[in-house]
Amino acid sequence: MSSSTSNTPTTDMDTTTSAQPSKSRINLLGMSQDKLGEFFKELGEKPFRVQQVMKWIHHEGVQNFDEMTNLSKVLRAKLNECAEVREPEVTLEKISKDGTRKWLVKVENGSCVETVFIPQGKRGTLCISSQVGCALDCSFCSTGKQGFSANLSTAEIVGQVRMAIRSLKETEPERQRAVSNVVFMGMGEPLLNFDNVVDAVSLIMDDLGYGISKRRVTVSTAGVVPALYKLAEVSDVSLAVSLHAPTDELRNELVPINRKYPIEQLMEACQHYLAGLGEHRAITIEYTLMDGINDKPEHACQLAELLKDLECKINLIPFNPFPGSGYKTVTDENLETFQRILYKKGCRIMVRTTRGEDIDAACGQLVGKFNDRTGRSARHQRRLEANKINVLPLKHEAPNSPVHSSERPS
């Protein structure tokens, strides 16, 4: 359930954890086995170097080639001249009262995106971004109101995973495997950055990469139907679909891409994707509940009817408010009624507990720092000003908030 923001202070830490990019060097962090194999072939090296270097980069977290001691001195010298291992730079880290962590990550073009870690016992879920901003404009999503700037490279996507694992080892060494799940549910529509996301998924699941099971790596989409069919050809990663409405009329308002790819087409694409996953796999349907908008009993009945033939689990998400959204979070009573109706109709249901709300890390609240190429951010700001809605500074800037700041050595 969504809870009100507490006055409990959060923790801010300014960080500078990565070197400046070199224009002449190739970043090996985003290279798959095949691409790294081609790279070493061009250097005149044997194929076994791929396994050695990938283990150093992804398993050991080593950045300096001179520390890769099972490589020859000649190869290390070559790599120092033409290659590097470079994560995106962490400029700020915030820690919620519930243990959720949010990093503001600076990417190569100078923009910033957000990455969130949600702890669950000794393990946890890492929510990563795939774009700087989002090319879509879902009406209830704060990220979408910021507009769009660029796609992230494979290295910038995978770098978020590497950074989080390394950071958690340093700050919470008691965790055996802190990042047990990775979800592409941060900033951006993953399937609109198709090639880089697919390469990143491959590296995250690769045993020489991060070895996370395909059942624990999830790509979320708002419904880019052609890309869903394409994804089915190259991957069996877990899939989440941001549905949020059971009818085209309502979904057209909430998720504008529905006007191009309506629900019937989306459901057909989901069935096609599901057919390639094998037994005991299901698609996650994400449904954000907003008071008086999509939380009525008739909506629950329509949703159950729509999904009756799809092997899926429904993730009910209480809306997380942000200035100017025009929506309110679902009431406890309506959430319980909605959930009860779905349960009686045989649906598998989860209710997402709001985490990290006090540091704006909850679902739909992620906001980066970048130049919007679409003009959407400026239009949203003008609308807020016209309606005399005061917008507080972003919490990762928070110049006057009661937080503790400290420098963290690089």
Active-site residues, by number, are 114, 363
Question: Residue 190: CA atoms inside 13 Å, Cβ hemisphere, count?
Answer: 28
Helix (H) or strand (E) holding 94: strand 89-95
Cβ(222)–Cβ(255) below 8 Å: yes
Phi-psi region of 104 (alpha: psi -120 to 50; beta: other; left: phi over 0): beta
| Distance in angstroms (rounded) separating the CA atoms of residues 122 and 175 | 5
Distance (Å, rounded) from C-alpha 365 to C-alpha 394?
10
Are 189 and 224 a contacting pair, CB within 8 Å?
yes
Longest distance between any two alpha carbons in the chain, whole Å: 69
Q: Which residues contact 365 (CB under 8 A, 6 or more apart)?
A: 142, 143, 320, 322, 357
Residue 304: closest CA among 282, 285, 290, 291: 285
Instruction: Please classify residue 29 by burial: count the beta carbons closer than 10 Å to its beta carbon, then call 0-12 exposed, 13-18 middle and 19+ buried.
Output: buried
Cα–Cα distance between 354 and 332 in angstroms, integer? 13
97 and 103 in contact (C-beta within 8 Å)? no
Q: How many beta carbons lie within 10 A of that of residue 113, not counting itself?
A: 31
Nearest-Å Rg of the Cα atoms of the chain is: 22
